[in-house]
Amino acid sequence: MHSLFGNAAAVATGVFAAMRAKGRDTRVVAQAGDGGTVDIGLGPLSGMFERNDDVLFICYDNEAYMNTGVQRSGATPPAARTATTQAVGEHPGNVFGQGKDLPRIAMAHEIPYVATATVADLRDLEAKVEKAMAIRGARYIHVLVPCPLGWGSASKDTILLARLAQQSGLFPVFEAEFGEVTAVLPIRRRVPVTEYLQPQKRYAHLFGQTPDTETIERIQAQADRNLSRYHIDEVEI
């Protein structure tokens, strides 16, 4: 069923309730972008979590409103340039300290299953979807999907960037059950955040003639914080 922008969770909840009323055991999966999930759709989604409706909700996070022309969403990371967070003068693109970390918001609802994943590890993603489908109640999977157009990156680097997001620590890949982190994908080859940021034009203003080391350091600090917050291991190879 193709719903409207922002009401996927509401529609999914309705479908689930209707099927239950009819005595049918139909599994329901809802999918939406980050804008539709963390901003406009957040109310119904939070309600769906609270009621623990038997729905798997999958968010494809490309970190902005892409199909309307790259506007900032609540999932846009700090310092990223979007059409509504231009990097001009002293403004560094999207501001620090705002935005919503939806996997953590989902965890705060203490639903049975929350997981993050990226398109760089398809077997991991597949395993998480399978696991989610074996569980009843509200489940949430948040998938990082680079957007070549919106990020200003080469199409061929799409998987590479998703991988670097995880390997730099900026995007933690984990699973949580009933509000507790239960598994974390380790980092195999740790890279500094610059390796992830530099190939993206939305961060080009950080790498001008005089690199904006202060901002880069703040982003690096976020990655470092994820490592301790999620106890991400670095695997020695």
Partner 1 sequence: MDKPFAITLDAGSSLANKTGSWRTERPLYLNSLPPCNDACPAGENIQGWLYEAEEGQYQRAWQLLVADNPFPAIMGRVCYHPCQTACNRAQLDQPVGINSVERFLGDVALQEGWQLPVEAVDSGKRVLVVGAGPSGLSAAYHLRRAGHHVVIHDAGPKSGGMMRFGIPSYRLPRDILDAEIQRILDAGVELHLDSPVTDVMAAKAEGGFDAVFVAVGAQVGKRAYVPAGESAKILDAVSLLRDMEGQQAPRLGRRVVVYGGGNTAMDAARTAKRLGAEEAIVVYRRTRDRMPAHDVEVQEALEEGVLIRWLSTIKDVDAGSMTVERMELDDSGFPQPTGEFEELEADSLVLALGQDTDLSLMQDVDGIEISDGVVHVDEGMMTGAEGIFAGGDMVPSERTVTVAVGHGKQAARNIDGWLRGIPFEHAPRPPLATFDRLNTWYYTDAPKTVRPTLDSARRVSTFDEVKQGLDEQTAVYEARRCLSCGNCFGCDNCFGVCPDNAVLKLPRGSAEGDNGRDYAFDLDYCKGCGICVSECPSGAIIMIPEA
Q: What is the binding site for partner 1 (CB under 8 A)?
A: 2, 119, 122, 148, 154-160, 163, 189, 237
Token output for 55 = 């729905």
33 binds Mg ion (CB under 5 A): yes
Q: Which residues, at least 6 apart from 230, have a Cβ–Cβ distance to it below 8 Å?
A: 172, 174, 181, 184
In the complex with partner 1, the residue whose CB is nearer, 102 or 164, is: 164
CB 71, CB 59: distance < 8 Å: no
Name the minimum Å distance from CB 38 to ligand TPP: 8
* Residue partners of 217: CB distance under 8 A and separation at least 6: none
**Would you count residue 175 as binding ligand TPP (CB under 6 A)?**
no
**91 or 189: CB nearest partner 1:** 189
Interaction between residue 77 and Mg ion (CB under 5 A) = no
Handedness of CA 199, 194, 95, 39 (dihedral sign): positive
Residues 26-45 within binding reach of ligand TPP (CB under 6 A)? 32-36
- Binding residues for ligand TPP, rule CB under 6 A, total 15
Q: Which is closer to ligand TPP, CB of 7 or CB of 167?
A: 7
Could you give the string, one character per residue 62-101, with x where binding to ligand TPP holds by CB under 6 A and - elsewhere? x-xxxxx----x----------------------------
Q: Which is nearer to Mg ion, 45 or 187 (by Cβ)? A: 45
Which residues fall within 8 angstroms of residue 57, CB to CB, at 6 or more apart?
Answer: 8, 9, 12, 29, 30, 31, 32, 37, 45, 48, 138, 139, 140, 141
User: How is residue 178 annotated by DSSP?
Assistant: T
Angle between helices 8-21 and 42-51 (to 10 degrees): 30
Q: Which does 160 bind (CB under 5 to 8 A by kind): partner 1, Mg ion, ligand TPP, none?
A: partner 1
Residue 190 CB, shortest distance to ligand TPP, in Å, is 29
CA-angle at 28, arms to 26 and 29, nearest 5°: 155
Among 3, 7, 37, 62, binds Mg ion (CB under 5 A): 62
